[in-house]
């Protein structure tokens, strides 16, 4: 991933230095287990621990000749260890190292992403409470529907973020498995105790069964969760982008001092961060699809998944980490305009209370078809003339035959329309 979208902590997880460090630890732990089993001399393991090291540039140099990354790594480590290096990698295959390492890296990344999600949830919870009773119009199909509050919108996002936290926790558990089981997963040339020892020390569980590789449904699940989380971020971002439209302007990204919105038009304040999040979420979804394509491999293994994963897994982890960071900042500093929310709510001259009128008429025993007809007729006149919906109702004899003026006036109580906000917040856990 390009440096523009890479935060340091996540980037380090996917650097070659970290990868080879994990490879080395896997090899040393496996050798330790072999020594306990009497397969490898304990003195040799002591020498390995003391001398084992690697050089990334040297590994790359060797790989250019041997065309095999694990062999290049082992060759370079052997240059540091000396003769005792012959006891490394006994009975193991490359995938034992590669897949177990990848599991560690994905676990490390997942735990960082989990922290990101929790920070996002904290911001959403705080701002939801801040705007709990800030009334705005709710929109369906992009058209004004009925009143809601901005706090409820944020509470919805908070609840979705909690689901993403639960999904990621589950995906981390599913991917936190290792294998040291040999060429086709049968432990033909090494004891299962080696796998148990390595996995325990790395914070993993042994895969109950594997072939030469860990099965890629695990990776596909993890990547799908990242894509779903990215889609949630895109959803939040898309809503903010709409609310920032000039003719809406109910909320907008913070615009810092010295920031420029356009190279041509000095007046512009654009939702560039939300647009960036919306765009990058497409990459996550594409990568998730590639991970699903990796599930079906030939027999006990092929390597069609390998080249794909070198790109999509690091990129998705790095991207989502970046996306959550900037989206959390957007929500933390989001500018909210309650006065504009109220102005927009009043633009339809009271039409947002049409259902309240419809229900009041039907409760007074007017047939629903008749009630719908008379309310819709008044509503259509408001759309065309811009007249007050309330005034048209108060002048309608058919409606006045069922409801008196006081009953009609009561239907236009904004506070009554959001009376269940406290109940919803309590149910979401934001009381």
pLDDT of residue 267: 85
| Residue 262: band (very low, low, confident or very high) from pLDDT cuts 50, 70, 90 | confident
Dihedral of alpha carbons 240, 244, 245, 249, sign: positive
Answer whether residue 272 is part of any domain.
Answer: yes
Q: How far apart are CA 400 and CA 84, in angstroms?
A: 98
Question: Are 255 and 317 in a shared domain?
Answer: yes
CATH of the domain at 46: 1.10.275.10
Q: What is the pLDDT of residues 132-186, one digit of tens each?
A: 999 999 999 999 999 999 999 999 999 999 999 999 999 999 999 999 999 999 9
Answer whether residue 234 is part of any domain.
Answer: yes
Q: Per this entry, what is the length of the chain?
A: 431
Question: Are 259 and 338 in a shared domain?
Answer: yes
Question: Are 99 and 69 in a shared domain?
Answer: no
pLDDT of residue 84: 96
pLDDT of residue 268: 84
pLDDT of residue 348: 96
Q: Are 179 and 216 in contact (CB under 8 A)?
A: no
Question: Are 123 and 271 in a shared domain?
Answer: yes
Question: Are 225 and 318 in a shared domain?
Answer: yes
Find the mean pLDDT for residues 287-302.
94
Answer whether residue 357 is part of any domain.
Answer: yes
Answer whether residue 423 is part of any domain.
Answer: no
The pLDDT of residue 2 is above 90: no
Find the mean pLDDT for residues 300-313.
92
- What total number of domains does the chain contain? 3
Using alpha carbons only, give the angle 251, 257, 259 rounded to the nearest 5 degrees.
80
Q: What is the pLDDT of residues 326-337, one digit of tens each?
A: 999 999 999 999
Question: Are 10 and 22 in a shared domain?
Answer: yes
pLDDT of residue 112: 98
As annotated, the active-site residues are 141, 262
pLDDT of residue 259: 82
The pLDDT of residue 256 is above 90: no
Q: What is the pLDDT of residues 179-208, one digit of tens each?
A: 999 999 999 999 999 999 999 999 999 999
The pLDDT of residue 247 is above 90: yes
Answer whether residue 419 is part of any domain.
Answer: no
* Domain endpoint, select from 312, 342, 372: 342
Question: Are 75 and 201 in a shared domain?
Answer: no
Token look-up 């690697």 returns: 54
What is the extent of the structural domain holding 391?
351-411
Question: Are 129 and 168 in a shared domain?
Answer: yes
* Domain endpoint, select from 62, 90, 118: 90
The pLDDT of residue 373 is above 90: yes
pLDDT of residue 173: 97
Answer whether residue 418 is part of any domain.
Answer: no
Question: Are 32 and 162 in a shared domain?
Answer: no
Question: Are 169 and 298 in a shared domain?
Answer: yes
Question: Are 86 and 154 in a shared domain?
Answer: no
* Domain endpoint, select from 316, 342, 368: 342
The pLDDT of residue 338 is above 90: yes
pTM reported for the whole predicted model: 0.94
CATH of the domain at 195: 1.20.200.10
Other CB atoms within 10 Å distance of the CB of residue 260 = 10
Q: How far apart are CA 111 and CA 175, in angstroms?
A: 12
Answer whether residue 240 is part of any domain.
Answer: yes
pLDDT of residue 252: 96
Question: Are 160 and 239 in a shared domain?
Answer: yes
Find the mean pLDDT for residues 358-381.
94
Average predicted confidence (pLDDT) for the chain: 95
Answer whether residue 424 is part of any domain.
Answer: no
């Amino acid at each position: 991933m390009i440096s523009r979208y890479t935060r340091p902590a996540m980037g380090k997880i996917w650097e070659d230095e970290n990868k080879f460090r994990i490879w080395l630890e896997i090899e040393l732990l496996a050798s330790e287990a072999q020594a306990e089993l009497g397969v490898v001399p304990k003195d040799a393991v002591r020498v390995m621990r003391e001398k084992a090291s690697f050089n990334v540039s040297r590994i790359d140099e060797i790989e250019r000749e041997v065309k095999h990354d694990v062999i290049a790594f082992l060759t370079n480590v052997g240059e540091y260890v000396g003769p005792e290096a012959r006891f490394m990698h006994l009975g193991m295959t490359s995938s034992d190292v590669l897949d177990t390492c990848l599991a560690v890296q994905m676990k490390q990344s997942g735990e960082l992403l989990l922290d990101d999600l929790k920070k996002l949830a904290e911001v959403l919870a705080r701002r939801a409470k801040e705007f709990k009773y800030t009334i705005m119009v709710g929109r369906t199909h992009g058209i004004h529907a009925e009143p809601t509050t901005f706090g409820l919108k944020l509470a919805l996002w908070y609840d979705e973020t909690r689901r993403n936290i639960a999904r990621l926790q589950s995906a981390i558990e599913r991917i936190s498995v290792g294998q040291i089981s040999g060429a086709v997963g049968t432990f033909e040339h090494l004891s299962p105790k080696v796998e148990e020892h390595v996995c325990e020390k790395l914070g993993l569980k042994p895969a109950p069964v594997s072939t030469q590789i860990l099965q890629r449904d695990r990776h596909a699940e993890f990547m799908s969760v990242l894509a779903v989380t990215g889609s949630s971020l895109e959803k939040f971002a898309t809503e903010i982008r709409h609310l920032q439209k000039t003719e809406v302007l109910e909320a907008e990204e913070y615009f810092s001092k010295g920031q420029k919105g356009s190279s041509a038009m000095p007046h512009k304040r654009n939702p560039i961060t939300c647009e960036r999040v919306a765009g990058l979420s497409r990459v996550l979804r594409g990568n998730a699809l590639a991970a699903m394509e990796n599930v079906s491999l030939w027999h006990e293994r092929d390597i069609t998944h390998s080249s794909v994963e070198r790109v999509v897994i690091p990129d998705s982890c790095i991207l989502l980490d970046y996306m959550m960071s900037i989206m959390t900042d957007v929500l933390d500093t989001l500018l909210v305009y309650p006065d504009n929310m109220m102005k927009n709510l009043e633009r339809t001259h009271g039409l947002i209370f049409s259902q309240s009128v419809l229900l009041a008429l039907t409760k007074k025993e007017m047939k629903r078809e008749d009630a719908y007809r008379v309310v819709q007729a008044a509503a259509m006149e408001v759309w065309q003339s811009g007249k007050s919906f309330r005034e048209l109702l108060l002048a309608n004899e058919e409606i006045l035959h069922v409801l008196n003026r006081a009953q009609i006036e009561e239907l236009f109580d904004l506070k009554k329309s959001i009376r269940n906000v406290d109940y919803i917040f309590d149910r979401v856990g934001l009381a």
